[in-house]
Amino acid sequence: MEKSWPGSQAQSGFTLLEVLISLVILSIGLLGLAGIQATSLKDNHTAYNRSQATQLTYDITDRMRANKVAIDNYLTSFMASTAATAQAGCLIAGCTATEMAQHDLYEWQTAFIDILPSGRNTITKAGDTYTVMLSWDEDRDGDNTNDPEFQASFQP
C-alpha cells in the first residue's frame, strides 16, 4: 500500500505555477537583452559613420596640402564638389594644379557619396584657415535638422 502524505493533494499545481513564473521572468530578461543588442548595433553604426567621416576629412585635407598651388580651387564656393569631374590626364601623364584640384574633388565626392548616407560637405576658408565640414543623415529620416556633423580646420 502506498503512503500518502498529508496535504499532498493541495500542492499538485504549485510546481507548474513556478515554471510559468520562471518563463515570464526569463522572457522579460531576453527582451531586455534583445533591446541592448539593438542599441549596441545602432551605436556601432553611428561610430562607423563618424570614423568614415574622419577618414574622408583627412583624405581631402591631405590632398589640399599636397596641392598648395591651387588650394583655393578646393573651396566649395569656387567649385561645388558635386560639380567636379574626373580628369583623365591626372591618372596617366600629368595635369595642372587646377585640374588636379578638380580631380581630387571628384574622387573625394565619389567616395563621400558611396560611404555616408545622404551626406553633405563644404570646404571654406577664413583668413588662412581652411575648414572641412561633413554632415550625413544618420537616422535616414530625411530631416537635416538633427544630422550629425564632423568638422576639421587646418592651416596648410
Residue 42: CB partners within 8 Å, gap ≥ 6? Answer: none
From CA 145, how far away is CA 39, in angstroms rounded?
Answer: 22
Point out which residues pair with 125 in neighbouring strands.
130
Q: What is the pLDDT of residue 81?
A: 72
Dihedral of CA 44/48/51/53: which sign? negative
Q: Provide the whole-model pTM.
A: 0.74
Residue 90, C-alpha cell as written in the block = 591626372
Q: What is the pLDDT of residue 143?
A: 72
Percent of the chain with pLDDT over 90: 47
Q: What is the pLDDT of residue 127?
A: 92
Mean pLDDT of the chain: 86
Helices (H) and strands (E) in the chain, counts: 3, 3
Grid cell 558611396 is found at 114
